[in-house]
Structure formats: C-alpha cells, structure tokens
C-alpha cells in the first residue's frame, strides 16, 4: 500500500493511517518458535531475557526509556524492570513467564501507568506473570534440570554478574540430586536469524516509519533556506516525527558544506549559506521499528555543475545497487556494484587516476567512498543478523524474501589541495530502505524525492 497521499506538486503532503500494533498472541508465536529451536538444538532449556535498565542523563534526570530490542521482539512489553523466562522440555512442553513490576498507585501518580502482573499476563499472552522481586526465589526451580540456560551474554554487566552468582548457587545445590544447566548459551545466536526475516506486522510498521520519515525529509527540503542553522532543520524533522507518534531512531545528521564530508556528524550547529549542500541522514522510530533515509540537496539555488556531477554519480551507484539486490544474491554484491560505479565515475571526473581494475585493486577510490553500501534494518537501525555465514564466516549471507536493508552509496570530497576547487566540500549520500521480495525488491522509502528535478523543485518552493 502507498503510505503517503501525493498532493502539492506531486510531493507527499499527508500521512496515512497507522498500522495496527501486534497483539499478545503475535509475540507468543515468536516465543514458541524460539522454544522449538531450543528443544531441537539442546533438547530443552530455559531462556532468561532481561529488558534494558534505566539510564541517567544527568544527576536525577533519566533518558527517555526504550525496552531492549530482543526482549521487546519476544514480548512487546514496554516497561522497565522486567525479565522473560521461557522454558521447554524434550517433549515440547513450554511455559511463558514474565517477571515485572507490581501495580503501585502511588508511583503511578509520579511515573505513569504500570501494567502489573495481572494485566501483563492477559495483554501479552503469558502463562504466568510474577512480581520482579520473585525472580531470585524462583530462579533455582526454573533452571534446575534444564539442559541449557540461554541468556544474552555481555549485554549488561550487572546481569552477567547475577547469572554467574546464581549459577554458582545452583552448582552448590547439585548434591541434592538436581542438575544445573550444563551450558550457558547466548540466546541472541538463535534470535538473530529470526529477526533477519520480517513478518507482515513488522513490514507494516517499517513501511509506516519509512512514510513518516519520507514526509520529514520533504518538510526539511521545503524549509531549508540560506541563513538557517542546521539545528533549525533538525527541529523540522523532529516536528514531523512527533506529529505522527514517532521519535528519532538515532541522532540525526544535518550537515552543510564541509560537514557533509563527516560521516557521523551530529553537532548540527552551523549556519547554512547559499549554494551549499545540505546532507540529512535521519529516520524515525515507530513502535520501536526504524527507518533510515539520507537525502542531499542544495540550499537557496540549484545544484552547481560539480555538485550535480557527483549527485548523479551517487544516484547511478544506488541504481546499480538496486539491480544487484534480488533473492539468492550474496549480501555484498550490491556493495561491489556501488564501488564499480563510483570508482569509474571518479576516474571520469579526474578525481583519481588509472583504470577501473587498478582503482578497485588498490582501493584508491576509498579516499572519497570509505563505507559499506548498507546494513540490516529493523528494531535497531543497525539491526540483528550476520553478513557472512558458515562456521568461519567463509561465505556471504544470501538475500531472501523478508529481509530489510539500507542502500546508501556516497561520495565525500574534502577541500584538499590536489582536488579541483569546484569539487571542494561536496559530500553526497543517498539512502533508501529496501525489502527483499520473492520477485525482487520493494523500496519502502521511495516517497522521499531524490531525482535532480524533484529535489530542485522542492527546494524552490
């Protein structure tokens, strides 16, 4: 479905209805899939998954809370101080438990609504829900005689310490005839392959996030004028996100002039002058799912000849990436396609010397293009999943329907003495979010204009 209604001058103006949020049974089905994998792999086991702790911004001021992505993927539960406990035996019998905060009307007056155990059980489809304080007492009963304990390792130091202490207690109790888990496994190794494939609900949420983000980039192009500061453009992006119930998925890059050549620039304090390029890398997060779009455009005028040359080169590299994306293709094929187009373009524009084969072999083009062409996208901006497969990573991951990734070639030319002056401080990146389908690809962010004609028309409004 199209998420935006096209109106003024053919550019998106109005946002569509938000998709339905998955219900508790949807998350329960994911948990069952995980547990069946645990049974097949280890003959049964206990999964313990904590959510993220609160983080202080300064003194007694907290950062806005977001649940840990793996925890949220399995539960949909949005609150802090919670732990999932999932178990299965060799016969396939499963239990879905949650430990969470109790209802507390006094604290809810200060901090807001809490589900509490009873509402959490009904809403998120758990067999039983206990107060978080009961976890320590129930730990031995849950873990004893399980073939394996599966939990995230190295994620939170306090959690690692708690697991180590509790396993020590279990081993001390082994004389009573009970057996502690024989191994501790990082559960994310089983969850990563699951998260790489987005279901219909996830795709709907990501499409919506892409739609909101596309509208934010259109807003920014219309708003940006000489004399504005980068942070004022950032404010327009944030406005669009918040107006649609979303928030920034990451610190936005709003980079002008020489800042366009800084890949992770987030200071966003510079004042913008006529004729300078503005590179915006910004995406919203909607119901915990991220979008990731980059657009680059001139402020106050049309592209200069040199700016247009580099822009068209990056756009051609992105089209080559799209051509390389299809089911069965190695993940890195689209990156290789981007490198070939960009390297040849740099030779043609006399930014580098020699043949295409020599440029690719020596990597001389990497002076102006130093990053990969994309990454997985989902609950995290750089989402779960491996880019190579095999016991030793000897083979690339092959693309399959349901995978979502970004496609973001770029070219970044600093004002160095050996570079023609016309190309100084031209940094251009064009990024879209792509779903692999059985027939090819679906560009989720296609509503964000990017042709030279579209971009110049928007900037002139």
Task: List, by residue number, the catalytic residues.
Answer: 60, 264, 281, 292, 371, 375, 382, 408, 412, 429, 431
Helix and strand counts by DSSP (H, E) for the chain: 13, 23
String of DSSP letters for 244-292: TT-EESS--EEEEGGGGG-TT-----PBP-TT-EEEEEE-EEETTEE--
Alpha-carbon dihedral of residues 104, 108, 110, 112, nearest 10 degrees? 150
Q: Which residues sit opposite 96 in a β-bridge?
A: 86
| Cα 436 from Cα 430, distance rounded (Å) | 19
Alpha-carbon dihedral of residues 194, 195, 199, 203, nearest 10 degrees? -170
Closest CA to 459 of 189, 198, 260, 278: 278
Closest CA to 331 of 399, 278, 283, 415: 399
| Cα 372 from Cα 387, distance rounded (Å) | 12
| Cα 287 from Cα 109, distance rounded (Å) | 24
String of DSSP letters for 122-189: HHHT-SEEEEGGGHHHHHHHHHTT-SEEEE-SSS-HHHHHHHHHHHHHHHHTGGGT----SEEEETHH
Q: Chain-centre distance of CA 139, in angstroms?
A: 33
Report the sign of the C-alpha dihedral through residues 258, 374, 68, 167, in that order: negative
Closest CA to 181 of 215, 147, 134, 231: 147
3-state secondary structure of 61: strand
Closest CA to 403 of 376, 428, 363, 381: 376
The answer to whether the CB of 426 falls within 8 A of the CB of 307 is yes
| Cα 124 from Cα 229, distance rounded (Å) | 45
């Amino acid at each position: 479905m199209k998420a935006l209604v096209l109106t003024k001058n053919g550019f998106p103006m109005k946002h569509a209805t938000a998709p339905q949020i998955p219900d508790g049974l949807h998350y329960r089905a994911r948990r069952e899939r995980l547990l069946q994998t645990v049974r097949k792999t280890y003959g049964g086991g206990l999964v313990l998954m904590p959510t993220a702790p609160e983080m202080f911004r300064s003194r007694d001021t907290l950062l806005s809370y977001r649940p840990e992505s793996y925890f949220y993927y399995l539960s949909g539960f949005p609150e802090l101080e919670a732990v999932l406990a999932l178990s299965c035996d060799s016969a396939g019998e499963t239990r879905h438990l949650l430990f969470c905060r109790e209802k507390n009307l006094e604290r809810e007056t200060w901090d807001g609504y809490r589900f509490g155990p009873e509402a959490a059980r009904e809403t998120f489809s758990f067999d039983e829900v206990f107060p978080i304080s009961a976890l320590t007492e129930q730990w031995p009963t849950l873990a004893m005689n399980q073939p394996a304990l599966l939990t995230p390792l190295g994620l939170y130091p306090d959690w690692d310490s708690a697991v180590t202490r509790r396993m020590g207690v279990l081993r001390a109790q082994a004389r009573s005839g009970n057996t502690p888990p024989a191994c501790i496994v990082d559960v994310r190794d089983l969850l990563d392959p699951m998260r790489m494939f987005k279901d219909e609900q996830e795709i709907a949420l990501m499409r919506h996030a892409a739609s909101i983000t596309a509208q934010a980039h259109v807003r920014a192009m219309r708003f940006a004028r000489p004399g504005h500061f980068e942070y004022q453009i950032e404010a327009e992006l944030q406005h669009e996100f918040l107006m649609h119930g979303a928030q920034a998925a990451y610190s936005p890059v709003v980079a002008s002039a020489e800042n366009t050549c800084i890949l992770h620039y987030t200071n966003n304090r510079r004042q913008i002058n006529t004729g300078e390029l503005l590179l915006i890398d910004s995406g919203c997060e909607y119901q915990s799912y991220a979008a990731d779009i980059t657009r680059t455009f001139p402020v106050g005028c049309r592209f200069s000849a040199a700016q247009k040359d580099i822009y068209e080169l990056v756009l051609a590299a992105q089209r080559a990436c799209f051509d390389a994306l299809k089911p069965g293709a190695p993940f890195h094929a689209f990156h290789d396609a981007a490198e070939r187009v960009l390297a040849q373009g740099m030779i043609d524009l006399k930014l580098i010397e020699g043949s295409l084969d020599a440029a690719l072999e020596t990597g001389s083009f990497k002076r102006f293009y130093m990053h990969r062409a994309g990454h997985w996208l989902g609950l995290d901006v750089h989402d779960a999943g491996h880019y190579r497969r095999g016991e030793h990573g000897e083979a690339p991951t092959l693309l399959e329907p349901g995978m979502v990734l970004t496609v973001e070639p770029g070219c970044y030319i600093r004002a160095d003495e050996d570079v023609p002056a016309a190309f100084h401080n031209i940094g251009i990146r064009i990024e879209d979010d792509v779903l692999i389908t059985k027939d090819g690809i679906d560009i989720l962010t296609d509503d964000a204009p990017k042709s030279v004609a579209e971009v110049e028309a928007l900037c002139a409004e």
